[in-house]
Amino acid sequence: MAIAEETKAELAEIAARYPRARSGIVPMLHLVQSVEGYVSQEGMQAVAGVLDLTVAEVAAVATFYTMFKMRPVGEHHVAVCVNPQCGILGGDRIWEVLSDELGVGNGGTTDDGKVTLERIECQAACTNAPVMTADWEFLDNMTVERARDIVSRLRAGDPVQSTRGPLIRSFKATARSLSGIEDDGLADQGGNNATDEMLAGLRVAQARGMVSPDGRSSNRSDSESGRVK
């Protein structure tokens, strides 16, 4: 699919934000993904044209980061963490059940085009394992029952609230936010959403009067030290 002139103008807008234009390549690829649902050859050519790079140079970045997809993704991208902590605590079982019920394997998309399912090796959220994401929004402390319900509601078009932030929108909408073109106020919707699990280490350090090697005290409030966006 040809890249629209409007999208090319937005790609140029992103590139112009950086002292070195090529530093904008990652958000530019997110923008391409927000339009096409994946990083297409045409999209990489458009990015390369704006940055005066070869398509091979753009492809090297697009294929390195796993958030960029080289084939079309469904309306929603659902990722199940199966790294050891999540896997042992239920992630493996969640993956098995969803894969079986949706009839897709890793990276597969349901026949209705609603969900692409992926195994993720780490979501960097081990304190709330097992973790799943939908369009990269966190869904913490998952169970098989909750996972099935969430996927069912996503397919039906019903609202689903993420654990730490806004309502889940779509894969393309999230990609547009990640491009930095606009975030629809999402950055302020996370709030102070640190959980007890996240703050456990801080609270132990505070109770014991522990300090860091440079002498800084850990005796700050949870709202100061535990803010997660």
84: preceding bond cis by omega (within 30 degrees): no
DSSP code, position 161? B
* Domain residue limits at 221: 196-225
In a domain, 108, yes or no: yes
Burial of 22 (0-12, 13-18, 19+ CB in 10 A): middle
> Are 57 and 30 members of one domain?
yes
Task: Please state whether beta strands 76-81 and 115-120 pair in parallel, antiparallel, or not at all (unpaired).
Answer: parallel
Same domain, 109 and 143: yes
185 occurs within a structural domain: no
Same domain, residue pair 129 and 82: yes
Q: What is the structure's pLDDT at 229?
A: 35
* 85 & 157 share domain: yes
Q: Which amino acid is at 166?
A: P
Q: Is residue 175 included in any domain, yes or no?
A: no
Mean pLDDT of 79-95: 95
Predicted TM-score of the model (pTM): 0.85
**Which residue is associated with the tokens 């456990």?**
200
- Of the candidates 18, 42, 24, the one whose C-alpha atom is nearest the C-alpha of residue 32 is 42
CB 215 within 8 A of CB 67: no
| Helix, strand, or coil (residue 155) | helix
Q: Does residue 10 sit within a domain?
A: yes
pLDDT band at residue 228 using 50, 70 and 90 as cut-offs: very low
Q: How confident is the model at residue 221 (pLDDT cuts 50, 70, 90)?
A: low
Sheet containing 132-134: which strands, arranged edge to edge? Answer: 108-109, 115-120, 76-81, 132-134, 137-139
56 or 216: which leads in pLDDT = 56
Q: Which two tokens stand for residue 77?
A: 């991208």
pLDDT digit string, tens, across residues 174-212: 999 999 987 767 766 666 677 788 888 888 988 988 887
Domain match, 143 and 110 both: yes
Domain count, the chain: 3
pLDDT computed for residue 192 by the predictor: 62
Dihedral over Cα of 193, 37, 71, 57: its sign: negative
The whole-number pLDDT of residue 26 equals: 98
More confident residue, 214 or 28: 28
C-alpha 14/C-alpha 10 separation (Å) is 6
User: Are residues 98 and 146 located together in one domain of the fold?
Assistant: yes
- Within-domain flag for 68: no
Q: Do 88 and 144 belong to one domain?
A: yes
Torsion angle of C-alpha atoms 59, 64, 67, 70, degrees rounded to 10: 40
Q: Do both 83 and 163 map to the same domain?
A: yes
**What would the pLDDT profile of 54-82 be if each residue is shown by its tens digit?**
999 999 999 999 999 999 999 999 999 99
The domain boundary residue, chosen from 126, 153, 169: 169
Q: Are residues 165 and 107 in the same domain?
A: yes
**57 in a structural domain:** yes
Domain presence at residue 95:
yes
Residue 119 and residue 52 share a domain? no
* Residue 46, domain CATH: 1.10.10
Instruction: Give yes or no: residues 37 and 94 share one domain.
Output: no
What is the rounded distance in angstroms from the CA atom of residue 34 to the CA atom of residue 170? 10
User: Per the domain annotation, does 212 fall within a domain?
Assistant: yes
Report yes or no: 119 and 106 within 8 Å, Cβ to Cβ: yes
Is the sign of the CA dihedral 96, 99, 105, 107 positive or negative?
negative
Check which CATH number belongs to the domain holding 134 and give it.
Answer: 3.40.30.10
> Domain check: are 217 and 148 in the same one?
no
- Residue 227 pLDDT more than 60? no
Q: How confident is the model at residue 2 (pLDDT cuts 50, 70, 90)?
A: confident
- Alpha-carbon distance of 123 to 143, in angstroms, equals 16
